[in-house]
Amino acid sequence: MANRRKFLKTGLAAAALAGTPPLTAQTNSTQHASPVERKGRIRQSVSRWCYKQFTLDQLCEHSAQMGLKAIDLLDIADWEVPRRYGLVCAMGYAGGGTIPDALNRTENHAAIEEAFRKNIPLAAKAGVPNVITFSGNRRGMPDEEGARNTIAGLNRLKKIAEDNGVNICLELLNSKRNHKDYMADHTAWGARVMREVNSPRCKLLYDIYHMQIMEGDLIATVRENIDVLGHFHTGGVPGRNEIDSTQEIYYPALMKAIADLNFPGYVAHEFVPKGDPLASLRQAVDLCDV
């Protein structure tokens, strides 16, 4: 299965350009079309790595036409590109470690702090509201020790985020199917960390796909923890493909619950299309426009 880690290993720009399709009449058709007007209760984004067959400019163009507001998971060099299309980069890479190696080990804290001191001001300048970080893998470490270490790491980082008005979002991932041994694999662990850090600029990235696999009970969990949730990712279960009738999550109800909580952040589509990528993305945007 295609995944973010595999794509990143190839290098974002190189992979994108290698798979760039020629500009067809269908691709160009969005240039003169009026953007779709959305209800605006859910600010939708799309994860760049899932659409590597398009250049970033092409993805931005199509996204703007569909009524999306942002692009997710861009490297620093690409943060300004969405602005050309009236979009923003909603979640940026800024040196927050990697999925297996991040905040649950104190030996990683200095490097992450150095990167964030340099790059979070750049995010603020580019209008990037969120940067991503991770817990890291357990490798035999008890969850309690990892929580203490992650709290200590975020306490080193939170003033940088607060001073620049940028959120640091720690992603919740499943350790059952995709990211074996990842520590932040349950909402309760992440929520405990965020509440102890107690900063308006340190939040969780609640990946719906991953949390459905690990614990389900999505709507109640979101309602109980909305104070520490800063960003959402979508994806169909099973398989991380289209969020349609082939999978087990009923996204309209979940999106309505999020919208009813007046969530101010972004919901980013992070599924790998099996069918026509633009048709699948448009279908997902329509489905979540509650």
What DSSP assignment string belongs to 88-101? Answer: EEEEE--S---SSS
Closest CA to 102 of 48, 160, 157: 157
> Would you state the pLDDT for residue 145?
98
CA 37 to chain CA centroid, Å, is: 23
Please answer whether residues 285 and 269 qualify as being in contact, where contact means their C-beta atoms are separated by less than 8 angstroms: yes
Two structure tokens written together for 79: 């943060």
Residue 218 sits in a domain whose CATH number is 3.20.20.150
> Would you state the pLDDT for residue 288?
98
Parts of the chain with a pLDDT under 70? 1-32
> Would you state the pLDDT for residue 22?
38
How far is residue 103's CA from residue 136's CA, in Å, rounded to a whole number?
6
Please count the structural domains in the chain.
Answer: 1
Identify the domain containing residue 15 by its residue range: 4-288
